[in-house]
Amino acid sequence: MSYLVLARKWRPQTFSDLVGQEHVSQTLKNAIDGGRVAHAFLFTGARGVGKTSSARILAKALNCESGLTVEPCNTCSTCLEITEGNSVDVFEIDGASNTGVDDIRELRDNIKYLPSRSRYKIFIIDEVHMLTTNAFNALLKTLEEPPPHVKFIFATTEPHKVPITILSRCQRFDFKRIALPRIVSRLRFIVDQEGVQVSDEALSVVARKGDGSMRDSLSTLDQVLAFCGNSVSDTDVAALLGVVDRRLIMDGCKAVLQADVKGALEIVAQVDSFGYSMRQFCQELINQFRNIAILKAVGEPGDLLELSDAELGDLTALGAQASVQDLQRHLAILLKAEAEIAHAGFPRLILEMALIKMASLAPAIPVQDLLARLDALEKGGPLPPRGEAPRPLAPAPRPAQQAPPQQQGVSRPAAAPVAAAPVAAAPQRHAAAPQAAPSGFASGGDLWGGFVQAVKAKKPMLGGALEEVYPVKVAQGVLEIGCLQGSFQLTRLQDPEQINELKSLAQGHFGVPTQVKVVALNAPPTDAAPTLSEKKSLEDAERKAVLRREAEEHPLVAAAVELFDGEIAEVRELPQKEAAKS
């Protein structure tokens, strides 16, 4: 006799055998017991969760020779024929192979005849969504008002593809994905009956491979038994199915949460040496961190997590080492890494960098902690230590000896401005002044600045050019200016018309005839004052340095930097009006 796979050998034969679909089996049993069986049913759900098996069980319950019963006997000829799939009154039709309108017309013609031996003629159409629109239309009238001896049972994995006109004529039952513990329990029962030695951990791996499908889980178990025989080891199961060892996943999570960068990189090296997929390992890490985050957030997960009691205990211990915010940050890093690994040629590097970042991630400061410290800073009192929960009311001043040493002197001055106000007069940068200035230059500098301002008032463009030249000699009746060789100012000011205009402006400003001379310089002179533009830049730099120094020394600014663990990036000077208000 040929081998019968476990999925067929252990197929549910009664409603009690259905695992994880109690809401469906109980409703159908109540309908049969109360004589309220509909003429059309629609079973929807993922693959391998019991839709077709439920259809066969319902057909046996309706046609059992012992009468209408909630649990078929599975011993009479009718039940045995339905189980073996050769009943003359129960038709199992593949919707993918019989999609045309002609097939439905043939079915409709066959409906008119009474059943040969059984109580009802039952049509089970699997994957009914594969029927064409014309086939559905041909079925509408018959489905709405079938003969009393006919029952329809439709099954589909994609109910959204079934026309609403069909859905409205059927009682719909949605089959759920089977929970992991229920699958493991059923697998344990089956392997015990088969005489196979296998651990619960290995069965959990098989059940996870099934992804909520009992049929897929049994098919995977069949593959494991074919490889291992009647004695199954955890290592063989992991090697055969290509899944990542759960111990590696737990060790990876532990290394990250304990900030063990070297340990995390060693885990990646082991994953690579075993030949596991880096992307699959990343996905397993994502799922594990999700489990830890949910455990940390809700405490008792209930049906939210499909984990054994041992795994729940281990993950709860891991979750005690991190906050929910940190776990969310770890998940964000892993999700980004997983998306990059899918399209990268160096997945190990991406995973390593992600784990390094996670293991060296600075702890997140809770928002409540920041608000409490800001509130204390606003009131001028000592800052509470990090991690202290905020109080609903304004906290009373604590004794000075209880405050941390670095925070005891942080208090708000009575009239200290929050932002640095403009400096009225920045000190002159004499270091840039000439070491051996010409005689009378101390007064000549004032003469030159006043003259340039007067020229800018009358001739703005000419005054702007004078700000870029060097005052070599400035005195009553003498004006000697220097321009760098090849500069635009030299070409412009050597023009005779510009020189005559400068003479006229100088005579009008100084009140005496003034000799104007423009000389070409190969380099900035060492015995002359800087240009007004350079002098202005030096003053601005000095003003900014003074502002930054004042900001860094301000108690409130220092407290804010310490509070947010930050640094001063830029200091801006407030306009005069805003400074006066503050």
CB atoms within 10 A of CB 311: 17
Helix (H, G, I), strand (E, B) or coil at 121: strand
Domain identity same for 234 and 313: no
Domain identity same for 188 and 216: yes
CA distance 114 to 112: 7
Q: Can you give the pLDDT at residue 383?
A: 58
One DSSP character per residue, 250-278 reads HHHHHHHHTT-HHHHHHHHHHHHHTT--H
Residue with tokens 């890093």: 333
* DSSP bridge pairs for 173: 43
Tell me, yes or no, whether 421 lies in a domain.
Answer: no
**Strand pairing category for 470-475 and 171-174:** unpaired
Q: Can you give the pLDDT at residue 406?
A: 43
Domain identity same for 123 and 190: no
Name the CA radius of gyration of the chain, rounded. 44
Tell me, yes or no, whether 302 lies in a domain.
Answer: yes
Domain identity same for 43 and 79: yes
Secondary structure in 3-state letters for 368-433: HHHHHHHHHHHHCCCCCCCCCCCCCCCCCCCCHHHCCHHHCCCCCCCCCCCCCCCCCCCCCCHHHC
**Token pair in block for residue 572:** 């801006």
Q: Is the separation of the CB atoms in 474 and 445 below 8 Å?
A: yes
Q: Which amino acid is at 485?
A: Q
Which residue blocks in 275-359 are alpha helix, DSSP H?
278-298, 309-319, 324-341, 347-359
CA distance 369 to 388: 6
Q: Which amino acid is at 238?
A: A
Domain identity same for 235 and 257: no
The CA-atom distances, in angstroms, between 513 and each of 254, 476, 500, 506, 516 are: 89, 9, 12, 8, 10
Q: For the purposes of burial, counting CB atoms within 10 Å of the CB of 360, is it exposed (0-12), middle (13-18) or buried (19 or more)?
A: exposed
Domain identity same for 100 and 170: yes
Could you tell me the CATH number of the domain that includes residue 454?
Answer: 3.30.300.180
Tell me, yes or no, whether 417 lies in a domain.
Answer: no
Tell me, yes or no, whether 563 lies in a domain.
Answer: no
Domain identity same for 137 and 285: no
Per-residue model confidence as pLDDT tens for the chain (582 residues): 478 899 999 999 999 889 989 999 999 999 999 889 999 999 999 999 999 999 999 999 999 988 888 889 989 999 999 998 888 899 988 887 777 788 888 888 888 889 888 899 999 999 999 888 888 888 888 888 889 999 999 999 999 999 999 999 999 999 999 988 889 999 999 999 999 899 888 888 898 888 889 999 999 999 999 988 888 888 888 778 877 777 888 889 999 988 899 999 999 998 888 888 899 889 989 999 998 998 888 877 777 777 767 778 888 888 888 888 888 999 999 999 999 998 888 999 999 999 999 988 876 666 677 777 777 777 766 655 655 444 443 444 444 444 444 444 333 333 334 344 443 333 443 333 333 333 333 344 567 878 888 888 888 888 778 888 888 888 778 888 888 877 777 777 888 888 888 888 888 888 888 888 888 887 777 766 777 777 878 888 888 888 888 878 877 777 777 777 777 878 877 765 555 555
Q: Is the separation of the CB atoms in 306 and 204 below 8 Å?
A: no
Tell me, yes or no, whether 111 lies in a domain.
Answer: yes
Q: Is the separation of the CB atoms in 362 and 293 below 8 Å?
A: no
Q: Can you give the pLDDT at residue 415?
A: 37
Q: Which of 338, 287, 42, 63 is nearest to 161 (CA)?
A: 42
Q: Can you give the pLDDT at residue 487?
A: 79
Q: Is the separation of the CB atoms in 490 and 481 below 8 Å?
A: no
CA distance 374 to 563: 8
Q: For the purposes of burial, counting CB atoms within 10 Å of the CB of 83, is it exposed (0-12), middle (13-18) or buried (19 or more)?
A: middle
Tell me, yes or no, whether 153 lies in a domain.
Answer: yes
Q: Can you give the pLDDT at residue 390?
A: 44
Q: Is the separation of the CB atoms in 358 and 256 below 8 Å?
A: yes
Q: Which amino acid is at 101?
A: V
Domain identity same for 143 and 17: yes
Residue with tokens 């796979």: 5
CA distance 479 to 518: 9
Domain identity same for 101 and 145: yes
Tell me, yes or no, whether 254 lies in a domain.
Answer: yes
Specify the number of domains making up the chain: 4
Domain identity same for 330 and 270: yes
Point out the domain boundary residue: 487, 502, 528.
528
Point out the domain boundary residue: 303, 324, 359.
359
Domain identity same for 17 and 111: yes
CB atoms within 10 A of CB 106: 12
Q: Can you give the pLDDT at residue 425?
A: 39
Sequence-distant (6+) residues with CB within 8 A of 431 are none
Secondary structure in 3-state letters for 500-567: HHHHHHHHHHHCCCCEEEEEEECCCCCCCCCCHHHHHHHHHHHHHHHHHHHHHHCHHHHHHHHHHCCC
Could you tell me the CATH number of the domain that includes residue 192?
Answer: 1.10.8.60
Tell me, yes or no, whether 570 lies in a domain.
Answer: no
Q: What is the DSSP letter of 64?
A: -
Kindly report the CA angle at 143 between 21 and 161, in degrees rounded to 5? 60
Q: What is the dihedral of CA 124, 126, 132, 137, to 10 degrees?
A: 30
pTM, entire model: 0.57
Point out the domain boundary residue: 241, 264, 280.
241
CA distance 57 to 32: 12
First-to-last alpha carbon distance for the chain, in angstroms, is: 96
Sequence-distant (6+) residues with CB within 8 A of 429 are 535, 538, 539, 542
Residues spanned by the domain of 470: 438-528
Residue 428: left if φ>0, alpha if ψ -120 to 50, beta else—which one?
A: beta
Q: Can you give the pLDDT at residue 435?
A: 36
Q: Which of 221, 219, 215 is nearest to 196 (CA)?
A: 221
Domain identity same for 184 and 200: yes
